[in-house]
Copies of this chain bind each other. A is one copy, B any other.
Amino acid sequence: MTGNSFGQLFRITNFGESHGKAIGIVIDGCPPMLELGAKDIQKFLDRRAPGQSEVTTQRQEPDKVEIISGVFSGKTTGTPICMIIFNKDFKPADYREISQAFRPSHSDFTYQKKYGIRDPSGGGRSSARMTAGNVAAGAVAFKLLNQRFKTEITAYVKRVKDIVADINPGNVSQKDVESSIVRCPDKNAAKAMIELIESAKNSGDSVGGVIECVIKNVPAGLGDPIFDKLEADLAKAMLSINATKGFEIGSGFEGIKMFGSEHNDTFIIKNKKIATKTNHSGGIQGGISNGMPIIFRVAFKPTSTIQKKQQTVDIKGKSMKLAAKGRHDPCVLPRAVPIVESMAALVLCDHYLRQRAQCGDKFD
C-alpha cells in the first residue's frame, strides 16, 4: 500500500536503494512450470544496464541478477520468485554534497517532506536504478506471454528533443532497434539523435524525448472495465517510470484533430476474423484489448541531473549552487526502452491472469 507493489495477480514488490546492499524484486503469482533461468532475465537487464555506449552513463554496474527463490530444477514452482542484484559500484563520496542539497526537479525535497528522512546515496530509493528489479520481473512476464500467445513487445526511441524518427510501427523489428545505440530504428534520425545527445552532454546539459511501443499478438479480452481499463493500467505503469511526463494511446493527443467519422475504427472481416480497418483505438476499446496491435507513446523529460551549475536551496532553506558530479545519462531514453517494454509486459500478464480467473482460459 505504499507504492512498492504493482499488479494484482502477477504481483511484484520492489525493494532496495540505489547504493544500498542490494536491489531486488519479488514476483508473487507466477504460474508454475514455466522454464526460467537467470539468463532469461539477464538479457533484459543488460539492455537497461549503464555503460552500454557513449550515449549512456559511463558508470559500470554489472547488474548481475541472482534468482533466490521460486525456481526448482529450472522451472517455476508457483511460489514467490525473488531476484536480487547485489550492488558493487558504490561511490559514496559522489553523493555527500547532495545529502544536504535539494537537487532541482529531483525528489530530494519531496522525500524529505514526506518521510522526514531519506537515503541520499545515489538518489537512494528514488533512483532510476530501482527499475532494474521491474525489468527483471518484466522478463518473466514477457516469457509467459510469449510462450502462451507469441506476444511481441517492441519499444523504440521515436523522438529526441526536436528530432522525430520516421518509423512504421507495423514492421519495426527488435533487431533493428537493438542495432542502434540510441535504440531508434530510423538510421538517419538515430545519427542526428546521437549527435544531439553528445552535444548536450558536452555542454553539461541533457535532453528528453518520446518512446513508442507496439505490442503484437495480444488476445482480445484483456483489460477490465471502469477503472482497470487496459490503457489506464498502461498509463499508470508508464507514468511510474522515472522522468516520464505523458502517455498517449492510439491516436492520442493528435487524434483530437479528427472528426468522429474520421476517427472511428470501422470493423471489417480480415482473415476470417473481425478486425478494424484503422487502429486509432491503439488496440483497446472500452478498456479491453480487441486483438489489434497495442500502440502507445511515452514522454520523457530531459534528465534532471546535469553538470551545469544550477541555483537551488539546501536542507536548511539556504540558497546555494549545485552541479552534478557523478556520471549520468544525458538522455535516458535508450536505456528506458526495455523498461517500457517490461512494464507493458507486467500489465498484460497481470490482465491475462485476471481474465483467466474470471472468464477461463479461452482466447482466440
Contact = CB atoms under 8 A, between A and B. Distances in A.
Interface in A12-49: 13-17, 20-24, 26, 28-33
A159 interface: yes
Given A5-B227, A264-B306, A115 B245 contact: no
Interface residues of A, number: 151
When all copies of this chain in the complex are counted, the total is: 4
Contacts of A300: 256
Nearest to A101: B267
A173 interface: no
Contact of A227 (B3, B224, B308, B355): B3
A68 to B, nearest CB: 5
Contact of A226 (B14, B29, B117, B260): B14
Given A13-B28, A263-B208, A361 B360 contact: yes
Contacts of A353: 357-358
A111 interface: yes
B356 A125 contact: no
A358 B32 CA distance: 8
Nearest to A107: B286
B253 A15 contact: no
Contacts of A115: 32-33, 77-78, 359
B251 A245 contact: yes
B236 A232 contact: yes
Given A31-B358, A207-B259, A359-B114, A68 B21 contact: yes
Given A256-B208, A256-B210, A117 B240 contact: no
Contact of A239 (B14, B232, B310): B232
B13 A13 contact: yes
A229 B288 contact: no
Most-contacted residue by chain B among A70, A248, A267, A281 (CB, 10 A): A267
Contacts of A51: none
Interface in A290-330: 290-291, 299-306, 308, 310-313, 317, 319
Interface string A171-183: 0000000000000
8 nearest A-B pairs in the assembled complex, by CB-CB distance: A107-B286, A3-B224, A246-B248, A206-B260, A3-B228, A357-B357, A110-B288, A236-B236
20 contacts: A1-B8, A2-B80, A14-B80, A21-B69, A24-B82, A68-B84, A110-B285, A110-B287, A113-B220, A113-B290, A206-B259, A208-B255, A208-B263, A226-B240, A229-B240, A235-B238, A236-B236, A245-B251, A253-B253, A261-B308
Given A260-B306, A261-B310, A264-B310, 13 more contacts: A14-B227, A22-B69, A79-B119, A79-B125, A79-B225, A114-B288, A205-B259, A235-B235, A245-B248, A245-B251, A255-B302, A260-B301, A260-B304
